Amino acid sequence: MKITVLGAGAWGTALAIAFAGKHAVTLWTRESDVAEDLRSTRENRRFFPGYRLPENVEVATDFASAVAPAELLLIATPTAGLRPTLQILHDQGVVRPLIWVCKGFEAGTGRLPHQVVAEVLGKGVLSGVLSGPSFAEEVAAGQPTAVALAANSVDFSRQAAHELHTQRLRIYANDDLVGVEVGGAVKNVLAIAAGVCDGLGLGHNARAALLTRGLAEIARLGEALGAKRETFMGLAGMGDLILTCTGDLSRNRRVGLALAEGKSLPQILEELGHVAEGVYTAREVARLAGELGVEMPISQAVAAVLAGQCSAVEAVELLMARDPRVEAA
């Protein structure tokens, strides 16, 4: 199959590496210096150093020529870059099955990625999301990984999962597009909370409680948006939450660790050098929770800290001061 990966950040590069052994892959980037570096050194030294791009992966900067031969498009931009990329496809009249790997709610609109796709390209385009417990570095290194693929067509999700499945990247078809997207989005917010928890030295008990109650928040919001509860017990829910909240490669967890040190958000983002989706998703999650009447105290506390309304220490104190209650999902 001919695949074009749109976006040569860490995830785009990792997916190009992962699928190159089985498919004809083109990696598109808008940055000419990144393209030149990839062609000459076969390494993305700006966004993803240390991982070699296979020789059979073509690198392109011209959008039209990159997508023309593609049988499948993989959009590997941050959530903020999804709509602009889709708009280019729309303006150029490109209609191809597509899959995205961004995880978040669109800032300002609160839309999930599949809603953005439907708005820009219409509901008839075969499309879906690839999500689950997966660090780009480990995927590129060929370490065993399992993720979920949900789409607007059950047949498409199963076919795409079969085609993209490799010996090291195990892909499970899923029929709950909303649930997979919500799990991937909200876990980034909770990973910031986990980083704060670890950074303040609150202990393993506190982290376990955070993950458990955080998973309940994900499920409550997901169900309010039409997702299936069981989805959050799988790869795109519990699996992704555990990885992102405990793994040292998690950008969002690193944001939380830095917040616990008392660093400002602008300083943290500058030092990080990459997009941490939870930073932008937290506000949308808190807003949606309020509009839908969904109880999400941890997510709302993260949003308050990021907005400068309270410190990390104060947020923890407020959470611990909540009235006792019967445990319920």
The catalytic residues are: 187
Using alpha carbons, select from 180, 169, 164, 172 the residue that is nearest to residue 103.
180
Backbone angle region of 81, left / alpha / beta, with phi > 0 → left and psi within -120 to 50 → alpha: alpha
Using alpha carbons, select from 179, 173, 170 the residue that is nearest to residue 153.
173
Q: What's the alpha-carbon Rg for the chain, to the nearest Å? A: 19
Name the amino acid, one letter, at 39: R
Q: State how far the Cα of 165 lies from the Cα of 162, in Å rounded to an integer.
A: 5
Residue position matching structure tokens 């300083």? 267
**Helices 251-260 and 265-272, packing angle to 10 deg:** 140
Q: State how far the Cα of 296 lies from the Cα of 284, in Å rounded to an integer.
A: 12
Q: Decide if 53 contacts 31 (C-beta within 8 A).
A: no
Q: State how far the Cα of 63 lies from the Cα of 31, in Å rounded to an integer.
A: 12
Q: Decide if 280 contacts 79 (C-beta within 8 A).
A: yes
